[in-house]
Amino acid sequence: METAKAVSERSVTVVPKTQKKRKWTVDHWLALAFLSPSVVLILIFVYGFIGWTGYVSLSNWNSLVPDLSFAGLKNYIYLFHDFRFQADLRNTLVFTVLFIGVVIVLGQLLAILLDQKLRGESIFRNIFFFPMALSFVVTGVVWQWLLNPSTGVNLFFKKFGLDSKWYTDTTILGSFHLGKIEFGVPVAIVAVVIAAVWQMTGFAVAMYLAGLRAIPEEVREAARMDGATEFQIYRKIIIPMLRPITVSVIIIMAHISLKIFDLIYAMTGPGANFVTDVPGVYMFETTFRGNYYANGAAIAIIMLLSVAIFIVPYLISSRKGES
Partner 1 sequence: MKQRTWSRAVLYIICILMSLFFLMPVYVMLVTSVKPLDEVTLSDMWKLPTAFDWSSYQTAFEKLAPNFLNSIYLVVPATLLSALLGALNGYVLSKWKFKGADTIFTLILFGMFIPYQSILIPLIQFLREIGLYNTIPGLVFVHVVYGIPITTLMFRNFYAAIPDEMIESAKIDGAGFLRIFRYIMLPLSITGFVVVAIWQFTNIWNEFLFAVTITTSSQQPIMVALQNLSGSQIVQWNVQMAGALLAALPTLLVYMFLGKYFVRGLLAGSVKG
Q: Tell me if residue 213 falls in helix, strand or coil.
A: helix
User: Is 178 among the residues that bind partner 1 (CB under 8 A)?
Assistant: no
User: Is 272 among the residues that bind partner 1 (CB under 8 A)?
Assistant: no
- Select 37 or 179, whichever has its Cβ closest to partner 1: 37
- Select 143 or 274, whichever has its Cβ closest to partner 1: 143
Minimum Å gap between C-beta 269 and partner 1 is 9
- Mark residue 184 as left, alpha or beta (left: phi above 0; alpha: psi -120 to 50; beta: remaining): left
| Interface of this chain with partner 1, residues 82 to 141, rule: CB under 8 A | 110, 113-114, 116, 118, 124, 126-139, 141
Give yes or no for a contact between 198 and 263, defined as CB atoms under 8 angstroms apart.
Answer: no
| Interface of this chain with partner 1, residues 203 to 262, rule: CB under 8 A | 203, 206-207, 210, 248, 252, 255, 258-259, 261-262
> Which one of 20, 34, 177, 213 is in contact with partner 1 (CB under 8 A)?
34
Minimum Å gap between C-beta 184 and partner 1 is 26
Distance CA 309, CA 123 (A): 38
| Interface of this chain with partner 1, residues 142 to 171, rule: CB under 8 A | 142-146, 148, 150-152, 155
- Select 89 or 138, whichever has its Cβ closest to partner 1: 138
| Interface of this chain with partner 1, residues 288 to 307, rule: CB under 8 A | 288, 293, 296-297, 299-301, 303-304, 307
By rule CB under 8 A, what count of residues binds partner 1? 97
> Which one of 14, 42, 73, 178 is in contact with partner 1 (CB under 8 A)?
42
User: Is 32 among the residues that bind partner 1 (CB under 8 A)?
Assistant: yes
User: Is 5 among the residues that bind partner 1 (CB under 8 A)?
Assistant: yes
User: Is 16 among the residues that bind partner 1 (CB under 8 A)?
Assistant: no
Distance CA 173, CA 175 (A): 5
- Select 223 or 264, whichever has its Cβ closest to partner 1: 264
Provide the sign of the torsion angle of the four alpha carbons 121, 122, 123, 129, taken in this order.
positive
| Interface of this chain with partner 1, residues 47 to 76, rule: CB under 8 A | 47-50, 52-53, 56
Minimum Å gap between C-beta 286 and partner 1 is 11
- Give, in degrees to the nearest 5, the angle at Cα 282 between 279 and 286: 140
> Which one of 35, 73, 77, 309 is in contact with partner 1 (CB under 8 A)?
35
Distance CA 46, CA 76 (A): 22
- Select 9 or 221, whichever has its Cβ closest to partner 1: 9
